[in-house]
Chains A and B, each alone.
Chain A
Amino acid sequence: MADKKPILTIKNLYKSFGALKATDDVSLDLYEGEIHALIGPNGAGKSTLIKQISGDYQSDSGSIHFLDQDLAGLGVAERARAGLGRTFQVSSLALEFSALRNVMLAVQSKSGSSFKFFKSVQKDADLIEPAMQMLKEVGLEGRADIPAAELSHGERRQLEVAIALALKPKAFLLDEPMAGLGPAGSKNLTGFLDQLRHQAPILLVEHDMDAVFALADRISVLVYGRIIAAGTVDEIRGNPLVREAYLGEEAS
């Protein structure tokens, strides 16, 4: 990795909820072209870390640099505009809007100001066409006009990915994108993410170990807010600490 530069660099990050240390001295980075998987048991602090990066949570201390920019003090929307595209562990969509309009919102954000008051979005090809393209990429084009509230769980996960794609981000933060997709859906998405890494690197939180081992260039293992191991797939597979803390638990 020495020849590549990190897109995202996290140094000595902390976050506590009362007495609970959800993020405890976490450092990691994300390089161009890679998938960096973040695994760990439930409650390890994976989502918390994603939210610290996205700006939902303020960190107690430590730093996050993204494309050589210090993210301290930037809000969620500013970080998204800086190029962080994320999906939520629990789908978070504008439920009354159709799938297409959900993606159009991202296209609209990407294409400049939302303080445009007169032109109707319903006929705005500059929004509709790119949004439709993103729906096609995730295989949702047939459901474009369906309100998000009426989409199936799996379709909502796909829609989340389409929205993130529409932002043309410089890095993806994906929080358990496979959750609840079923074997076929997971396999599909695995193939998709495999290609996606060439568009922008991915910090991937995932429980599906088959997907993680198939995709990850590197893996960091988080337990009780601490990274207890980091390395390649083979290194992590062979690490006794990891087997004990996490993989063993999965196997049993």
Chain B
Amino acid sequence: MVNLSRENGFNFLLAAGLLIIPFIAQSMDEPFGITLATRVAVLALAGVGLNLALGSGGLVSFGHAAFFGLGGYVAGILAHHALNYEPIMLSPFEINGTTEMLIIWPLAMLVSGLAALLIGYFSLRTSGVYFIMITLAFAQMIYYFAISWPAYGGEDGLPIYLRNTFPGVNTMDPISFFLIAYVILLLVIALVHVLNNSRFGAALQAARQNDERLSAVGIAPFNIRLVAFVISAMITGLAGALQADLLKFVDPSALSWHMSGEIMIFVILGGVGRLFGPVAGAALFILFESIFGGMTEYWMLFLGAVLLIVVLFARGGLVGFIAGKARHG
């Protein structure tokens, strides 16, 4: 129980720190700091999605960029059509673009969720290295499709000329957009916490620990994993939509295996299965990138070294290092 309160304390510090940074940056007239904090929030959200599959469910998906990128393209494509006044399709019924985040987000989640349903349906019949490779292969298929499809920019990507809108908020204001991303991040983390403690969460964690045991009590692991994979993808897809609005741009790199790897790095650096792990991981990642990225092109090498140390010596990531081993009730 000591550990739990320590973890809660650290989580609180992470959440508070992330909230304060953009305001400090603004007061120091360093708007770039706001962008960095927003990136942390958005990337952490992508990691929170993966963490549900990877941490709770033990599903080592190396294809979550598929959902991140699809979410981004949903935002980009809807905005593109709204600004051109071209319907997305005319028959059997007319669908128009939109710049309303409140419409874009559910659609981004729907598209990512449907993709995950399909990908999960096939890939979840395998496990271990095969699962890693199949999720990677599906994501690469979508990546190459995006590159070779000229309608939405192909390799060059798709700009979003004006950031999409949210009722009552000026989304072009960096702090306001940060707050949108931040509030979503915390809401989703709360939701994942509830999910992990529910009957569904219990079954999902049991599937990770011992799927033979789960089947023997009459719960089919496949169904549980598939639903978890879909929810996980929807969260990462939502992050993708936010990222497209943050950058005002989406391109195939959001779908690439590098992106899948980065999302996995957030989770591993922060602590696999730890509620705020992806926040810690994404913050570390962005910190590294901004400190070493300017000095050397090889900053990823440093990151790789840190990652290696975490994997070898600090299996619980940063959160585990500070709060100790995770315990179940």
Contacts and interface: CB of A to CB of B under 8 A. Distances in A.
B214 interface: yes
B121 to A, nearest CB: 16
Interface stretch (A36-44, A94-102, A189-197, A200-208): A94-102
B42 to A, nearest CB: 24
B199 A106 contact: no
A163 B199 CA distance: 16
A109 B213 CA distance: 12
Interface in B165-204: 194-195, 197-203
Given A115-B227, A117-B194, A122-B329, A108 B199 contact: yes
A210 B201 CA distance: 43
A118 B214 contact: no
B210 A93 contact: yes
Contacts of B16: none
A138 to B, nearest CB: 16
Contacts of B217: 80, 105-106, 109, 163, 166-167
A110 B194 contact: no
Interface stretch (A17-25, A70-78, A212-220): A70-78
Nearest to B200: A117
B234 interface: no
Given A105-B202, A118-B198, A75 B220 contact: yes
Contacts of B195: 117
Kindly state the interface size class of chain B when it binds its partner.
20 to 34
A14 B213 CA distance: 25
Contact of A109 (B200, B209, B219, B227): B219
A4 interface: no
A105 B206 contact: yes
Given A75-B220, A92-B210, A109-B218, A120 B194 contact: yes
B198 A105 contact: no
A252 interface: no
21 contacts: A54-B216, A77-B219, A80-B216, A80-B217, A86-B216, A93-B213, A94-B210, A95-B210, A96-B205, A96-B209, A105-B217, A106-B218, A114-B202, A115-B200, A116-B199, A117-B194, A117-B198, A119-B199, A121-B197, A121-B198, A166-B217
Interface of A: 54, 56, 75-78, 80-81, 86, 88, 92-98, 101-102, 104-106, 108-110, 113-122, 124, 127, 147, 163, 166-167
